[in-house]
Every structure is written in structure tokens, then in C-alpha cells.
Amino acid sequence: MSQIKFQLERVSGAQVSDHELLVDLRLAAQLAGTEILSQRLYSLHGKYDPKTVHRHFGSWNKAIVAAGLQTANEINISDERLFENIMLLWEHYGRQPRRAELAIAPSQFSQSAYKRRFNSWMDALSSFVEYVNIQEAQPPSVKEIVNERRTGRDPSLRMKFRVMKRDNFRCCACGANPASQPGLTLHIDHIKPWSRGGETTDDNLQTLCEGCNLGKSNVL
Ligand SMILES: [Zn+2]
């Protein structure tokens, strides 16, 4: 016969204070033996429903930060993803992004993620510029080599950025740009189409807005 274990059950709707939640988050992190407390770990070691934590703090990460713990998604973010975010912001604003802009949409990573990896925002930007300036084309695939291509079809991230920056983050055909039209997407287009032997090099690439780019491929 199994023993009945009495546990205090919270009546649905019973008040839990922010403070109680934070204390329990820290306790759960201690029990789990980690500073990085995921929702899954909290479900194993914590007393409350992660949904309650969400409701009180707006998001899981905000609660984690309030508890003085580390958020899992800010650990081990690859340099490439941090650079990709810089590129996204550069494209969005049409200029070098500012540190304060990391805290607001469309930025995907906070200032602390950059600080942890590069010590400062300026160091992060310098590393980004170094990264972008490495002249490297995506190597062609086996199929592309068979077709005597020197470069792969898709431009690398750094190549996309160089081309957009050269074109001032504007569509080369109509001048549209995300800085004045939020939400507008810029594409990288092969001037001489790749399908007709055009290579993926800076000088055969141009920035087009989605509309112009799709218009172009319909004509071809
Ligand atoms: Zn356009």
C-alpha cells in the first residue's frame, strides 16, 4: 500500500507574491545546481507553475533576470548570431546601430550578451567590421564545381552586409529603404543571374527591395 503524502495544494487563484516567486526561483536553481534555470528545470524543482511566473513578470527571462539568475538563451550564443543581429539592426536603421537600440525591437539580443562576449559594444562593433571585411565567398558545392562555377549561389552573411552597406541599405532600383519604411525587406540580387553564369561576388551583387527583386525574377 502506498503511503499518502500530504502536500499543501494551492487553491487556484490564491495569491502568490512576486517575492515568493523570486525566492522559489533561486531555491530551484540551487536545487538544480545551476545559475541557468530553464523552465523545464524549474518544473522539476520549483513549487509554482512556470505560467504563474510568466504572468507575474511578463516573460520567463524577465523573471530570471529579476531573480539575479542567468538566462539560458544568452549563454553560448555564437559570434555569427550576434553579428547577424548587428547586421539586422544596421539594415533596420540604415546606419551603425547604437547600444541603446539593443534593448528594443527588432534587436534579438541584449547589451549583456555582447558585453559578455566582447567586453563592450564598441569592441563588438570592431569585431563585426573585421568579420565583415574578410573576403570570403561561399565555396561552390560539388554540383556547382561540376558546372564550372567558382562560387556558390548564396552570398555569405558578410558578403550580404558588404553589398548592402555599399548600396547604403537602399534598393538600387527604386531607392526604398527600411530606415524610412520599417518592415521593408532588402534582398541581395545577382546582376548577371547566377543561372546564366553570373558569379557570387561583390561586384555582381546588388541590393533590391522585395518588390523590385520579385518583379525582376518574374521578367526573367
Ligand atoms: Zn525597389
pLDDT at 141: 75
Instruction: Find the DSSP H helices in the chain.
Output: 18-32, 39-45, 50-57, 60-66, 79-93, 111-118, 121-133, 142-146, 157-166, 210-219
Instruction: Express each pLDDT in 111-158 by its tens digit.
Output: 888 988 899 999 999 999 888 887 666 667 777 777 778 888 889 888
Q: pTM of the entire structure?
A: 0.58
pLDDT at 126: 92
Q: What angle do CA 118, 26, 43 make, to 5 degrees?
A: 100
pLDDT at 152: 86
Give the distance (Å) from ligand 1 centre to CA of residue 212: 4
- The domain that contains 183 carries what CATH number? 1.10.30
Give the distance (Å) from ligand 1 centre to CA of residue 149: 29
Give the distance (Å) from ligand 1 centre to CA of residue 186: 8
Give the distance (Å) from ligand 1 centre to CA of residue 178: 11
Q: Total domain count for the chain?
A: 3
Instruction: Express each pLDDT in 53-86 by its tens digit.
Output: 989 998 888 888 888 877 665 556 788 889 999 9
Asked if the structure places residue 1 within a domain, the reply is no
Whether residue 58 is found in the same domain as residue 116: no
Whether residue 150 is found in the same domain as residue 187: yes
Report whether pLDDT(166) > 90: yes
Whether residue 190 is found in the same domain as residue 155: yes
Give the distance (Å) from ligand 1 centre to CA of residue 33: 53
Give the distance (Å) from ligand 1 centre to CA of residue 135: 27
Residue numbers of the domain that contains 36:
18-74
Q: Which residue has the higher pLDDT, 132 or 14?
A: 132
Whether residue 47 is found in the same domain as residue 93: no
What distances in angstroms separate CA 193 from CA 50, 183, 197, 198, one per listed residue? Answer: 51, 26, 7, 5
